[in-house]
């Protein structure tokens, strides 16, 4: 029960709290190039998914972004909040800052939605590989127990935390202000395969 609680708390921190903080703070300081999708990332995903599948995915992403944020009024309300207010006939400098901030903010949100959809395409295959590795690790643990082998509790503790950390970083990846090519997703799955195998191989019952 404690392990499950710890897992949920890790996911809340890395998958909810940290991304929200990043979306709110990064637009204040980052250049626009750090808040929008790069051509390199787009081309990398096209190469993996194929042009037709990528185009269909792009339509789905645009439609959902529109449903979630534009038609719901979130996007319009923030723009109205940053509408220029003239002071003595001049545009307030504060409003220029706000327009710039919300422009970067919505670029980050769109990029996060984009990456969530791209990541979904990696999820099924990645999950099957990870579960397969964990099952193999569990079988290795059973063989070791029959052979009276020793599993280090410290090793299990460290590997489990590493697995949770990589899981959380996988969610955080959608919000990072850098180019996320297909190599990031592949490397993440590879890490989770190795950590998942070792976690089950050294699993401690008590």
In the prediction, which pLDDT does 176 show? 84
Whole-prediction pTM value? 0.78
Give the residue from 191, 193, 167, 180 showing the smallest Cα distance to 48.
180
User: In Å, what is the CA distance from 49 to each residue of 4, 41, 57, 186?
Assistant: 34, 12, 9, 13
- 145-to-15, 43, 134, 198 alpha-carbon distances in Å: 36, 48, 16, 15
Mean pLDDT, contiguous 10-residue spans, the chain (206 residues): 59 75 82 84 92 93 94 85 57 70 89 91 85 89 69 76 79 84 89 90 70
What's the rounded Cα separation, in Å, for the pair 201 and 156?
8
pLDDT number for residue 93: 60
The pLDDT of residue 194 is 92
φ, ψ of residue 37 to 5 degrees: the values are: -70, 135
Q: How many other CB atoms are found less than 10 A from the CB of residue 38?
A: 15
- Please give the Cα distance from 110 to 102 (Å, whole number): 12
**CB contact at 8 A, 189 and 136:** no
Q: What is the pLDDT of residue 1?
A: 44
Q: What is the pLDDT of residue 122?
A: 83
Task: Round to whole Å and give the CA distance between 199 and 196.
Answer: 5
């Amino acid at each position: 029960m404690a392990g499950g609680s710890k897992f949920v708390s890790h996911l809340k921190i890395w998958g909810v709290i940290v991304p929200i903080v990043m979306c709110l703070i990064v637009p204040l300081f980052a250049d626009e190039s750090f808040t929008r999708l790069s051509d390199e990332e787009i081309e990398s995903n096209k190469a993996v998914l194929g042009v037709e599948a990528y185009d269909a995915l792009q339509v789905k992403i645009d439609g959902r972004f529109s449903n979630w944020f534009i038609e719901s009024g979130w996007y319009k309300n923030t723009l109205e909040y940053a509408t220029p207010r003239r002071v003595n006939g001049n545009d307030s400098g504060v409003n220029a800052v706000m327009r710039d901030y919300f422009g970067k903010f919505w670029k980050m949100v769109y990029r996060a939605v984009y990456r969530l959809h791209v990541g979904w395409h990696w999820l099924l295959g990645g999950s099957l590989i990870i579960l397969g590795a964990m099952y193999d690790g569990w079988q290795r643990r059973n063989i070791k127990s029959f052979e009276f082998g020793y599993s280090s509790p410290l090793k299990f503790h460290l590997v489990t935390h590493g697995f949770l950390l990589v899981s959380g970083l996988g969610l955080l990846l959608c919000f990072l202000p850098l180019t996320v090519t297909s190599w990031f997703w592949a490397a993440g799955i590879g890490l989770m395969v190795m950590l998942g195998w070792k976690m089950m191989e050294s699993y401690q019952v008590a």
